[in-house]
Amino acid sequence: MDGPHVDRSHLDVAGVMRSPVARVWVLTAAAGAVALALTLRFITGLTGASAFELSPWLLLVAFAMAEAYPIHVEHRREAISFSLSAIPLAIGLFTVDPMPLLAAAVLGSTIALAVTRHQAPFKIFLNTSQLWLSTVVALVVFHVLGGASEPGLATWPAAFAATVVADAVQAAVVTTAISLYQGRWEVESWQAAAFVATAVNTAVGVAAVVLLGVEPFGVVLLGVVVVVLLFSYRALNALRDRHGDLERLFDFTGAMGVAGLGDRVVATVLEKVGELMHSERAWLYLGDADGDVRRVELVDGELRTTDVERVGADARLHAVALRAGEAVLLPGADVAAGVDTLDRLGVSEAMATPLLGSSSVVGVLVVAERSGEVRPFAAHDLRLFGTVANHAGVSLENHRLFDGLRDQAALNAHQALHDALTGLPNRAMFTERLAETLDRDIPVAVLLLDLDRFKEVNDALGHHHGDELLQDVAGRLGSALRGGDLVARLGGDEFAVLLPGVAAVDAAVDRARALVAVLERPFAVADVSVSVEASVGVVVAPRHGTDASTLMQRADVALYDAKAYQSGVESYDASRDSHTAGRLALVAELQAAIAAGDLDVHFQPQLRLATGAVEGVEALVRWTHPVRGPIPPDEFVPVAEQTGLIRPLTLHVLERALSHVANWRTEGHALRVSVNLSARSLLQETLADDVAELLARTGVPADALCLEITETSLMAHPGRTLATLERLRAVGVSLAIDDFGTGYSSLAHLKRLPVQEIKVDKSFVCSMLDDASDEAIVRSVIELARNLGIRVVAEGVEDQTVAAALARAGCHLGQGYLFSKPVPAVRFGGWLRSRSRGETDAKVVSLRPSIAG
């Protein structure tokens, strides 16, 4: 440090006054001295209180309680606390002798501050002298104004004057202390509110005194009223907080839209995110093409960019967020490492999140130090932060951050596909390469390799050396490969090797044994020599499977066998795989059911929330297995997807749905029908033609069909999927994004997709009334969709209050058990007819805005 040098041989007054804490100590001493002088001069000579005597001990407890349970208000980045101590002070002025009252106030408050609020010593001393001074002043004012002379109405003003003046003294001392601490004068705007609070508290205290004189038990009633008021105040405050967050979320989205270009966007993101998350600091990490990371922070309104060391705490935080792939709270599960990282960054808590653009990672956003002492970052802050980051990521990307953005995208693509510790490809890249190889009909072997007893090494030598060992293992595996092979780290101590061109099980097993042998030579870690054993599961394509997920799952089964038999290497053996037999039977039965038309389709209505009119219906497939009974679609639809049965399944559901809707439409119900598409269907070239053909056959107009695609399947193969969506749009059907909110896509991304509807996922809708961040998500989805001219459907509407809240938020349509469960076509038809005869049930009618209020 090259700051000013303090010569320790003599007292350097100017030097001491440069330290903020020292300046506060001086103020403390001054206030204490004045308080002492006033006490000796006035208080010792004062005569007793005018009303009846109350025990000073009782008051001591009351002061301690008032100080221990202050009322918190958060305003922007400030946390303000009020205490209720004016209540015992007002009571004490009338009922306790001056000296005991002074002692009770100072002692009670100090004990509370020291014990329950864990304040630093210099703060406790400051507060003690400040309390002493203000209480003395209150006593003097009270007695000078004749408060102690005669009981009754005439003395009340003296009590109010005393508490308010005491408050002013307190405010003056605290403001001076804060200004001295910060080195600049700062007048707080909230002090007017504190005076109002004090006046109210005094009124409560005076009322208590009056009651004590008339009917002491009346104080209990007063207590009840105060407690109820406090609770409603708290509830109100929580509500205000929530509204504040939402307001700022909209404000944020709006600000992003008009932020202009380049640095302005970054500055706006940092400023608004800091405000929204109540955090004192916010910064951004941006990587460049050389793998260097820069840190961008807003300092006094200016952006400041610093280069980040490759191995420092910044680099670690950056890596943690990228690895998590979502917003994380620090210190996280690994507390020691988290605390160490934060310490080095000079903060005590932080949230970090990767900023995902529509196609790449833009950077990492960090907020740190929640303002005020009221509470640390909590789970719902983390979710809000994640949502905000979604907006920010896309805005930053859209605004073409820096010139080198494209280089950076390349780097980030690298980071997204590689493991940070070893630099090897990660699981995502491995499965992608495997799928590519399979697509090109090249035979391929997959080896799944897991180190034996790695955990013991890790525990014995420490995480740091465990990491080193993994890096060395990665190096050796890499050196044992041939051109075209690929080794990846899947996570922990699990690696995978891709061997294109290897079709024979024996050849693959030989290669696996060679890899195990390569690892047998001891590793030098932490000056000890460690030998590593590994187990390997082997599969080859096409023999053991023709798609990536089947192969990976079977390699896992083989690896499990290798571990169980301690045999080192095992290839996949179907007879040992318990999943397979049952699953194969299921596939055959499903195929037969589809062919025989045994799959049923149920229908669930979608209602316009503002009017209760039925506008649409979702078709949901149902299968009742002859032996196992009803099987949920979540179970058999994936099976169909993996086995090529999805096309006949989808066509069957489409055909049923369209022909029923055609009937209902001829009966005069102008319904739209929604049918679910799976990710796999979107890769089929023939889909658009199939749909067009079915529409023509059933006579349903194209715009009365809506196809639902889940958010995650849109992200899986963006290129090919988009081509199919364009073709479907050309046919004239509308498209919906299903389960919106569960994937990583951002709202702004929507603009680029040809969709006309989004369905907010039921997990958010169900809990929107209990969970502020779910509510924030639902509301911002609705708001943004409306701005983009997209229809919003809330699914999972189970009760009336949720429906009313959604209607108020502007959500167009609702679907859920509240209105109807999915029912067979016959029952749905009956339901429609009875409604149009006016047998509308009450819950739907009450949705009309006039009644919902």
Query: Which residues would be at the binding site for ligand C2E (CB under 6 A)?
Result: 604, 620-621, 632-634, 637, 650, 653, 676-678, 708, 738-739, 762, 795-798, 816-817, 822
Torsional class of 512: left (φ above 0), alpha (ψ -120 to 50), beta (otherwise)? alpha
Residues of this chain, 670-689, that bind Ca ion according to CB under 5 A: 676
DSSP string for 495-546: EEEEEET---HHHHHHHHHHHHHHHHSPEEETTEEE---EEEEEEEETTT-S
CA-CA distance, 338 to 342, in Å (whole number)?
A: 6
**Considering the complex, what minimum distance in angstroms separates the CB of residue 174 from Ca ion?**
54
Q: Which of ligand C2E, Ca ion, none is residue 817 near (CB under 5 to 8 Å by kind)?
A: ligand C2E
Q: How many C-beta neighbours within 10 Å does residue 769 have?
A: 13
SS (H, E, C) 661-684: HHHHHHCCCCCEEEEEECHHHHHC
In a 10 Å sphere around its CB, with 0-12 CB exposed, 13-18 middle and 19+ buried, how is residue 742 labelled?
A: middle
**Considering the complex, what minimum distance in angstroms separates the CB of residue 602 from Ca ion?**
12
DSSP string for 183-201: TS----TTHHHHHHHHHHH
Q: How many C-beta neighbours within 10 Å does residue 491 have?
A: 11
Residues of this chain, 598-637, that bind Ca ion according to CB under 5 A: none
Residue type, 155: T
Buried b (16+ CB within 10 A) or exposed e, 314-330: bbbbbbbbbeeeebbbb
Q: Which of ligand C2E, Ca ion, none is residue 798 near (CB under 5 to 8 Å by kind)?
A: ligand C2E
Q: How far is CA 29 from CA 21, 34, 291, 587, in A?
A: 13, 9, 55, 84
Nearer of residues 547 and 739 to Ca ion, judged by Cβ: 739
Nearer of residues 63 and 764 to ligand C2E, judged by Cβ: 764
Nearer of residues 390 and 815 to ligand C2E, judged by Cβ: 815
Q: Are strands 757-760 and 734-740 parallel, antiparallel or unpaired?
A: parallel
Q: Are strands 600-608 and 823-824 parallel, antiparallel or unpaired?
A: antiparallel
Position 458 contacts Ca ion (CB under 5 A): no
| Residue 425 dihedral angles phi and psi, to the nearest 5° | -55, 150
Nearer of residues 570 and 739 to ligand C2E, judged by Cβ: 739
Which of 708, 757, 775, 783 touches Ca ion by CB under 5 A? 708
Q: Which of Ca ion, ligand C2E, none is residue 633 near (CB under 5 to 8 Å by kind)?
A: ligand C2E
Q: Which of ligand C2E, Ca ion, none is residue 678 near (CB under 5 to 8 Å by kind)?
A: ligand C2E
| Residue 631 dihedral angles phi and psi, to the nearest 5° | -110, 130
Q: Which of ligand C2E, Ca ion, none is residue 621 near (CB under 5 to 8 Å by kind)?
A: ligand C2E
In this structure, are residues 805 and 769 in contact, taking their beta carbons and an 8 Å threshold? yes
CA-CA distance, 839 to 847, in Å (whole number)?
A: 15
Q: Which of Ca ion, ligand C2E, none is residue 632 near (CB under 5 to 8 Å by kind)?
A: ligand C2E
Tell me which residue has tokens 């919106």. Answer: 740
**Considering the complex, what minimum distance in angstroms separates the CB of residue 760 from Ca ion?**
9
**Considering the complex, what minimum distance in angstroms separates the CB of residue 535 from ligand C2E?**
37
DSSP string for 596-628: TT--EEEEEEEEETTT--EEEEEEEEEEEETTT
Nearer of residues 100 and 741 to Ca ion, judged by Cβ: 741
Nearer of residues 142 and 603 to ligand C2E, judged by Cβ: 603
Nearer of residues 215 and 635 to Ca ion, judged by Cβ: 635
Site map 772..811 versus Ca ion, x via CB under 5 A: -----------------------x----------------
Nearer of residues 155 and 650 to ligand C2E, judged by Cβ: 650
**Considering the complex, what minimum distance in angstroms separates the CB of residue 820 from Ca ion?**
15
Nearer of residues 155 and 676 to ligand C2E, judged by Cβ: 676
**Considering the complex, what minimum distance in angstroms separates the CB of residue 455 from ligand C2E?**
38
**Considering the complex, what minimum distance in angstroms separates the CB of residue 388 from ligand C2E?**
26
* CA angle in degrees (0–180, nearest 5) for 817-820-823: 115
Q: Which of Ca ion, ligand C2E, none is residue 774 near (CB under 5 to 8 Å by kind)?
A: none
Nearer of residues 405 and 687 to ligand C2E, judged by Cβ: 687
**Considering the complex, what minimum distance in angstroms separates the CB of residue 461 from ligand C2E?**
47
Which part of the chain contacts Ca ion (CB under 5 A), choosing from 95-103, 543-551, 702-710, 769-777? 702-710
**Considering the complex, what minimum distance in angstroms separates the CB of residue 672 from ligand C2E?**
15
Q: Which of Ca ion, ligand C2E, none is residue 634 near (CB under 5 to 8 Å by kind)?
A: ligand C2E
Q: How far is CA 767 from CA 225, 379, 763, 776, in A?
A: 32, 15, 7, 11
CA-CA distance, 699 to 268, in Å (whole number)?
A: 53
**Considering the complex, what minimum distance in angstroms separates the CB of residue 750 from ligand C2E?**
18
Give residues with Cβ within 8 angstroms of 276, minimum separation 6.
245, 248, 249, 252, 384, 388
* Upper half-sphere CA count for residue 40 (Cβ side, 13 Å): 5
**Considering the complex, what minimum distance in angstroms separates the CB of residue 820 from ligand C2E?**
9
Nearer of residues 676 and 721 to Ca ion, judged by Cβ: 676
Nearer of residues 212 and 653 to ligand C2E, judged by Cβ: 653
* Upper half-sphere CA count for residue 682 (Cβ side, 13 Å): 26
The two most distant CA atoms of the chain are separated, in Å, by: 107
**Considering the complex, what minimum distance in angstroms separates the CB of residue 713 from ligand C2E?**
9
In this structure, are residues 585 and 822 in contact, taking their beta carbons and an 8 Å threshold? no
Residues of this chain, 714-743, that bind Ca ion according to CB under 5 A: 738-739
With CB atoms as reference, the residue minimizing the distance to ligand C2E is 816
Nearer of residues 446 and 802 to ligand C2E, judged by Cβ: 802
CA-CA distance, 548 to 546, in Å (whole number)?
A: 7
Nearer of residues 471 and 767 to ligand C2E, judged by Cβ: 767
In this structure, are residues 122 and 112 in contact, taking their beta carbons and an 8 Å threshold? no
In this structure, are residues 361 and 415 in contact, taking their beta carbons and an 8 Å threshold? yes
Nearer of residues 570 and 708 to Ca ion, judged by Cβ: 708
**Considering the complex, what minimum distance in angstroms separates the CB of residue 1 from Ca ion?**
58
**Considering the complex, what minimum distance in angstroms separates the CB of residue 114 from ligand C2E?**
51
**Considering the complex, what minimum distance in angstroms separates the CB of residue 336 from ligand C2E?**
41
Q: Which of ligand C2E, Ca ion, none is residue 395 near (CB under 5 to 8 Å by kind)?
A: none
**Considering the complex, what minimum distance in angstroms separates the CB of residue 167 from Ca ion?**
56
Nearer of residues 314 and 739 to Ca ion, judged by Cβ: 739
**Considering the complex, what minimum distance in angstroms separates the CB of residue 576 from Ca ion?**
37
* Upper half-sphere CA count for residue 42 (Cβ side, 13 Å): 19
CA-CA distance, 770 to 788, in Å (whole number)?
A: 28
Q: How far is CA 493 from CA 471, 534, 695, 729, in A?
A: 10, 10, 53, 47
Binding site for Ca ion (CB under 5 A): 676, 708, 738-739, 795
